[in-house]
Amino acid sequence: GNAALRLANSDAAAATRLVDELLARLDRASEISDRITLLRALGNTGDPRILPALELALGSPSDLVRAAAAESLRLIPDGRADALIVAMLDDVSPIVRTSSVFAATNRRLDPVAPALASHARDDKDPAVRRAIVELAGQRMSELPLLLRPIVVHAAERDVDADVREIAKKFLV
């Protein structure tokens, strides 16, 4: 995956072949562990052609496969990836929701900030809220009007003391 990303500008044909091979291997993979590894490798390519495979994996019954697919959205330069990240914030599994937050860390946040704000207030899992607060706090200077309220709300009102403390550190 990383090789395809590095080759994309210098040898586009070789990068395309690598991505095609990874997609073919994913299509043939039957073991969950193999699917996860291949999804992560594909995510490292940053190639928008992998979106259909990621969309299919996001519908998997396996939380771990959905999480790997969500993480793999992070480098895809396509607005559809933002929409998928937002959609996966509603997944039943906290690991998938946390993986969606992770995917947002490498992207512009304005398309996903409203959904992050909503989940920072309402998600039942403190690990998900913590991930959102950490992301918002680390990148608050980029979009202060969208991200600072997430951190302030968490510092003042989150039900989890650890999340409140993490948020407060970003406000100092």
Rounded Cα–Cα distance for residues 139 and 87 (Å): 22
In this prediction, residue 129 carries a pLDDT of 98
Identify the pLDDT of residue 3: 65
**pLDDT number for residue 14:** 73
How far is the C-alpha of 166 from the C-alpha of 151, rounded, in Å? 9
Q: Which helix (H) or strand (E) holds 33?
A: helix 32-45
Quote the pLDDT of residue 96: 98
Identify the pLDDT of residue 13. 75
Could you tell me the mean pLDDT of each successive run of 10 residues in the chain, 172 residues long? 64 78 95 97 93 98 98 95 98 98 95 97 97 98 96 98 98 92
